[in-house]
């Protein structure tokens, strides 16, 4: 029932929708991972490139090459500042691609890295970034096997942009898909949310706040393997909660599954510092990017075992059940607040946190 058929049905739904970009010019919101991003992707990229793997809009495409089933993914990184507590653009780029492969159920193996450098960028900074990438690759058990470097004139970029792509082997039979969630499933998050986004905002110095917060950037390949080993085909979907945060992932899952996701606000792990900074910034931590956290939707009979297994892996030590999949209202994410109320958690419209990754 799930898998092939459901995927095809979603593609058909997307085709019928045919969204349109109303703006004449690109805005920051088009890169924020929310509503505007989704429309741009559907109306421009998917519309032109049209193929089932792209239209699935997973974290990685699943492709056959020879007899092998591969996951293949890419991400561009434009984070500002380039260096922040807990990491820099280099480990962000490596971990991001490793995680897109891992949450797709693949074993991350080989990465590429394309650099766009601004004339005048300090070679010492580049070296620091590249050394961090090398360490991140080693930690994730992947190799950076191919790359490219371009340089543009001063004022035509912002120091350093990195685009990583990655391939990994899909040797498990489990099919993970955002559309596979079903009523009764349990929603688990792997740790406290929003650390990365708030850390980067604070590193910009826009808020006059002192903090010991560090980015959560980390590879999730071991955690994903553990979840799949224990959860088996009870694991419906895993997604890493990057741009747009947990709220965006849950909306994608609800939308693709045609089910409701009901989140218990009090159960969502958020550090006090993140909560405080988010309040000052006027944003909900549910929308703040993580770079080392994932959301897993798991069948009810496997949820306890999966949660227990997650907490045994360092990157899942703070894992918690945050909600359930329900029948109604289909396609929406509901938040049961600490005060007993309920509100809809929609996709972001603007971009409160530009260039967080």
Among 107-115, 179-187, 198-206, 293-301, the segment contacting a second copy (CB under 8 A): 107-115
Among 68-76, 259-267, 296-304, 340-348, the segment contacting a second copy (CB under 8 A): 68-76
The token pair at 348 is 């972001």
Contacts of 305 (CB under 8 A, 6+ apart): 230, 231
294-298 and 186-189: which strand pairing? antiparallel
Out of 2, 14, 19, 69, the only residue in the binding site for a second copy (CB under 8 A) is: 69
* Peptide bond just before 34 cis, omega within 30 deg: no
The token pair at 326 is 């329900």
Out of 7, 34, 42, 60, the only residue in the binding site for a second copy (CB under 8 A) is: 60
Out of 2, 19, 118, 276, the only residue in the binding site for a second copy (CB under 8 A) is: 118
Kindly state whether residue 66 participates in binding a second copy, applying the rule CB under 8 A.
yes
Cross-sheet strand order for the sheet of 294-298: 235-240, 294-298, 186-189, 320-326, 260-264, 333-336, 342-344
Kindly state whether residue 54 participates in binding a second copy, applying the rule CB under 8 A.
yes
Kindly state whether residue 115 participates in binding a second copy, applying the rule CB under 8 A.
yes
Q: Which of residues 296-315 bind a second copy (CB under 8 A)?
A: none
User: What is the CA angle 151-155-349, rounded to 5?
Assistant: 100
Kindly state whether residue 78 participates in binding a second copy, applying the rule CB under 8 A.
yes
Among 141-149, 179-187, 253-261, 298-306, the segment contacting a second copy (CB under 8 A): 141-149
Size of the site for a second copy (CB under 8 A): 86
Kindly state whether residue 27 participates in binding a second copy, applying the rule CB under 8 A.
yes
Beta carbon of residue 291, minimum distance to a second copy (angstroms, whole number): 14
Kindly state whether residue 136 participates in binding a second copy, applying the rule CB under 8 A.
no
Instruction: Of 240, 68, 99, give the one whose Cα is nearest residue 169.
Output: 68
* Peptide bond just before 198 cis, omega within 30 deg: no
- Signed CA dihedral, 281, 262, 333, 237: sign only: positive
3-state secondary structure of 177: coil
Out of 26, 266, 308, 344, the only residue in the binding site for a second copy (CB under 8 A) is: 26
Locus of tokens 């590879």: 219
Among 6-14, 41-49, 184-192, 212-220, the segment contacting a second copy (CB under 8 A): 41-49
Among 5-13, 53-61, 270-278, 293-301, the segment contacting a second copy (CB under 8 A): 53-61
Contacts of 5 (CB under 8 A, 6+ apart): none
Annotate 218-254 with DSSP letters as a single string.
Answer: ---HHHHHHHHHHHGGGEEEEEE--TTHHHHHHHHHH
Out of 83, 112, 172, 182, the only residue in the binding site for a second copy (CB under 8 A) is: 112
Kindly state whether residue 116 participates in binding a second copy, applying the rule CB under 8 A.
yes
Kindly state whether residue 102 participates in binding a second copy, applying the rule CB under 8 A.
no
- The H-or-E segment that residue 309 falls in is helix 300-312
Among 156-164, 181-189, 245-253, 326-334, the segment contacting a second copy (CB under 8 A): 156-164
Cβ nearer to a second copy, comparing 13 with 50: 50
Residues paired with residue 254 on neighbouring β-strands, in sequence order: none
Q: Which of residues 167-196 bind a second copy (CB under 8 A)?
A: 167-169, 171
Beta carbon of residue 306, minimum distance to a second copy (angstroms, whole number): 26
Radius of gyration of the chain (CA): 19
Kindly state whether residue 139 participates in binding a second copy, applying the rule CB under 8 A.
no
Out of 14, 74, 264, 305, the only residue in the binding site for a second copy (CB under 8 A) is: 74
Residues paired with residue 115 on neighbouring β-strands, in sequence order: 149, 162
Cβ nearer to a second copy, comparing 30 with 293: 30
């Amino acid at each position: 029932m799930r898998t092939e058929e459901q995927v095809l049905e979603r593609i058909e739904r997307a085709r019928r929708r045919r969204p349109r970009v109303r703006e004449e010019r690109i805005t920051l919101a088009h890169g924020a991972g929310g509503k505007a991003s989704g429309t741009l992707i559907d109306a421009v990229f998917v519309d032109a490139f049209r193929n089932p793997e792209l239209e699935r809009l997973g974290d990685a495409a699943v492709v056959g090459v020879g007899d092998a089933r591969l996951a293949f993914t890419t991400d561009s990184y434009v984070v500002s500042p380039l260096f922040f507590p807990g990491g820099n653009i280099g480990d962000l780029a490596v971990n991001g691609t490793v995680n897109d492969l891992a949450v797709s159920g693949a074993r991350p193996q080989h990465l590429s890295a394309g650099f766009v450098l601004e004339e005048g960028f300090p070679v010492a900074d580049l070296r620091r970034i590249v050394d961090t990438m090398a360490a991140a690759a080693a930690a994730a058990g992947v190799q950076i096997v191919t790359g490219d470097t371009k340089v543009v004139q001063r004022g035509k970029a912002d120091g350093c942009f990195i685009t990583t792509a990655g391939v990994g082997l899909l040797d498990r039979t489990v099919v993970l898909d955002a559309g596979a969630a079903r009523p009764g499933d349990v929603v688990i998050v792997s740790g406290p949310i929003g650390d990365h986004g708030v850390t980067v905002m604070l590193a910009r110095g826009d808020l006059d706040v002192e903090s010991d917060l560090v980015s959560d950037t980390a590879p999730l390949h071991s955690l994903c393997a553990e979840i799949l080993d224990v959860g088996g085909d009870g694991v419906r979907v895993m997604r890493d909660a990057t741009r747009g945060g947990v709220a965006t992932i849950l909306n994608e899952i609800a939308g693709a599954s045609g089910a409701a996701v009901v989140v218990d606000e009090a159960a969502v792990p958020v550090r006090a510092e993140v909560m405080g900074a988010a309040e000052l910034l006027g944003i909900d931590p549910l929308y703040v990017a993580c770079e080392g956290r994932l959301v897993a939707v798991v069948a009810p009979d496997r949820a306890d075992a999966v949660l227990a297994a997650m907490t045994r892996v360092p990157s899942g030590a703070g894992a918690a059940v945050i909600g359930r999949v329900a029948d109604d209202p289909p396609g929406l994410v509901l938040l049961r607040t600490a005060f007993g109320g309920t509100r809809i958690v929609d996709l972001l419209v603007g971009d409160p946190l530009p260039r967080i990754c």
